[in-house]
Amino acid sequence: MCGELDDEGPTGLQEAHYSRFLHHAQMILRKREKTAASSDDAVVNVIDQLFADALARATRDCEGVDPSRSYDMLSMQPLVFARLAGLMAGHLSLGDDPLRRVMEAMMHGYAEADSMEPDHGHDHDESTGHFGHSH
């Protein structure tokens, strides 16, 4: 039935998406370990660590279930984080335009998923204006 999770196990495409997520998450977490507390702003450092903690928890939870359910777990987690973001944004001043900030952050994360090229397994630092190598 539409919207229900099937018990047949993940498809090859789902396995590929999950593997790509896992690789990307591990890459982000390794990079975070190398650059922890890189800002002079304590709030920025706390926010960066919160992101890393949430990503690490999400990854552990996916890896902690039966491998045939890892993709299902991954597919449900964005709903939890969206609910949390909505709850927290709902307590901010409307003058801060909390919905716009949440949507911009969500779209940034969505685009970040495409920043890692599957062909050679690393992302590009587009903020520097160069990729450090040619394709």
Residue type, 19: S
Q: Which of 98, 100, 55, 101 has its CA nearest to residue 78?
A: 55
Helix axes 98-112, 70-89, angle to 10 degrees: 150
Whole-model pTM: value is 0.74
Token reading at 120 = 């050679």
For residues 47-61, average pLDDT: 96
Token reading at 58 = 């999400």
Token reading at 111 = 């685009």
Confidence (pLDDT) at 7: 55
Token reading at 32 = 């975070």
What residues contact residue 19 under an 8 Å CB cut-off, 6+ apart?
A: none
- pLDDT bracket for residue 49 (50, 70, 90): very high
Q: Is the pLDDT of residue 12 over 70?
A: yes
Higher pLDDT, 134 or 72: 72
Indicate the domain borders of the chain.
12-115
Token reading at 70 = 């890892």
Confidence (pLDDT) at 117: 57
